[in-house]
């Protein structure tokens, strides 16, 4: 029986995703490396895809499996992975992630969608009871008492394409903020991918500030942002207008009835250099009687994205939560700190994202040729384990 194996995945990574130069030179700054960087890096990546999430588990995987079948040159100890990730230049992995996303676009991985979107959002991982590194940020209770420490970050993802690919992450420690981290992410994404990679950027209300929206303008993307109470004048104007009017359109999306209000002639606030603001409200009636309502603002012209398209664009913001953070935490160990050192934490996050990008492009695009349904991530993980176990079976021929 033939099927996906760790070695066939490695061939896909080196030949199709063209990551051989990165695997060989991933920014290793160890002065006297005993174990080649390629061995350690691929072990971490295949370990994530096969859901071995701690350095100790990766060490055990490599020691137990046939190294050749796994695609690594030799075994090593978990302390080697700690030492390696402390000294790995995060910028090289960030560049590799961007290269893979650009290659995916060139190879038309996103072609069955009308718009390519980006979403930026924040999350936190690696909660601790005491401060142990400069990234440890206090967590307060309602009485402003410190109840622990977390490692928050902002991340950026391709959304709205049927293939959610989170490709960069920016930590923020004490004295920093999610807003600043998101601005650094956006600036880096513009610099690395060039303007006009994506059609839109979708974000939560805290990013609906003039500097952030202007940065999105410079990126050559339209921006779609939640309209919340931090913009009281626009919020009030939208409330006054939409409450006095029947919905612009009514759609049936799945089993839901969706009422939509849409108008593109609101005044920008004082510091926003837009001619007008398009505001948009949906009221989504679920079959169980529950109602979801949200207001949004955008500079997406009505002639380019109609009301229904804008509804789907707004909803694509949830992909970074669901297919990004939730998958990264529940399946790929983003919550777990393997080695409590700032650079190691960041590198581990980036390698987790790279493993997820590789897994999705391989499973959803490369393996899904023909008429069979797309395998689930769990099915692929199981097939990789079966492929590895076949290599350990005694040869009885």
> Residues interacting with Zn ion, by CB under 5 A?
132-133, 135-136
Nearer to Zn ion, 171 or 324 (CB): 171
Q: Nearest approach, Cβ of 125 to Zn ion (angstroms)?
A: 10
Q: In angstroms, what is the minimal distance from the CB of 130 to Zn ion? A: 9
Which lies closer to Zn ion via its Cβ, residue 155 or residue 213? 155
DSSP code per residue over 52-93: --SHHHHHHHHHHS-HHHHT-S----HHHHHHHHHTB-HHHH
Contact between 323 and 119 (Cβ < 8 Å): no
CB of 198 to Zn ion, least distance (A): 32
Cβ proximity to Zn ion, 136 vs 202, nearer residue: 136
Which residue, 54, 182, 171, 164, is CA-closest to 124?
171
As measured in angstroms, the least distance from the Cβ of 337 to Zn ion is 7
Tokens representing 228 are 């919340």
Nearest CB to Zn ion, comparing residues 132 and 265: 132
| CA separation for the pair 179, 68 (Å, rounded) | 45
| Least gap, CB of 173 to Zn ion (angstroms) | 8
CB 314 within 8 A of CB 293: no
Shortest CB 352 distance to Zn ion, Å: 17
Distance of closest approach, residue 234 Cβ to Zn ion, in angstroms: 39
- Nearest by Cα to 337 from 97, 89, 85: 85
Distance CA 362, CA 380 (A): 10
Tokens 């038309």 locate to 108
Closer Cβ to Zn ion, 75 or 348, answer by number = 348
> What is the Cα–Cα distance from 21 to 310, expressed in whole angstroms?
40
* 323/341 with CB nearer Zn ion: 341
What are the angstrom distances between the C-alpha of 384 and each of 4, 33, 49, 181? Answer: 6, 29, 9, 36
The residues, any chain, with a CB within 8 Å of residue 266's CB and separated by 6 or more, are 234, 237, 238, 241, 276, 277, 278, 279, 297
Which residue, among 46, 41, 51, 1, has the nearest Cα to 20 in the 3D structure?
A: 41
Decide whether 10 or 135 has the Cβ nearer to Zn ion.
135
Report in angstroms how near the CB of residue 206 gets to Zn ion at its nearest.
24
């Amino acid at each position: 029986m033939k099927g996906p194996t760790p070695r066939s995945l490695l061939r896909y990574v080196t030949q199709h995703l063209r990551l051989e130069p990165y695997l060989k030179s991933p920014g290793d700054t160890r002065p006297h490396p005993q174990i080649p960087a390629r061995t350690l890096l691929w072990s971490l990546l295949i370990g994530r895809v096969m859901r071995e999430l701690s350095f100790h588990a990766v060490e055990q995987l490599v020691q137990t499996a046939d190294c050749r079948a796994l695609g690594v040159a030799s075994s090593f100890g978990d302390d080697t992975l700690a030492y390696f990730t402390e000294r790995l230049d995060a910028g090289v992995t960030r560049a590799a992630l961007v290269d893979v996303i650009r290659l995916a676009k060139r190879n038309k991985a996103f072609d069955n969608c009308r718009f390519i979107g980006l979403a930026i959002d924040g999350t936190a991982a690696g909660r601790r009871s005491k401060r142990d590194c400069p990234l440890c940020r206090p967590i307060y209770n309602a009485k402003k008492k410190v109840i622990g420490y977390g490692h928050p970050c902002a991340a950026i993802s391709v959304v709205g394409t049927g293939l959610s690919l989170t490709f960069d992450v920016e930590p923020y420690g004490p004295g920093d903020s999610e807003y600043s981290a998101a601005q650094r992410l956006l600036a880096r994404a513009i610099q690395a991918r060039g303007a006009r990679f994506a059609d839109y950027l979708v974000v939560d209300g805290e990013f609906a500030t003039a500097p952030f929206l202007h940065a999105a303008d410079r990126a050559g993307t339209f921006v779609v942002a939640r309209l919340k109470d931090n913009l009281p004048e626009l919020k009030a104007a939208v409330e006054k207008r939409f409450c006095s009017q029947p919905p612009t359109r009514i759609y049936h999306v799945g089993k839901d009835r969706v009422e939509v209000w849409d108008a593109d002639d609101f005044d920008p606030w004082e510091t926003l250099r837009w001619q007008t603001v398009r505001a948009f409200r949906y009221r989504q009636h679920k079959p169980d009687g529950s109602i979801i309502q949200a207001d949004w603002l955008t500079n997406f012209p009505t002639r380019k994205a109609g009301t229904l398209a804008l509804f789907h664009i707004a909803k694509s913001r949830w992909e970074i939560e669901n297919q990004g953070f939730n998958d990264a935490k529940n399946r790929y160990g983003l919550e777990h700190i393997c080695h409590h050192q700032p650079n190691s934490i960041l590198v581990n996050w980036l390698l987790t994202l790279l493993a997820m990008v590789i897994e999705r492009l391989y499973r959803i695009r490369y393996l899904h040729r023909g008429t069979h349904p797309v395998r689930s991530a769990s099915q692929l993980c199981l097939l990789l384990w079966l492929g590895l176990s076949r290599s350990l079976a005694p040869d009885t021929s």
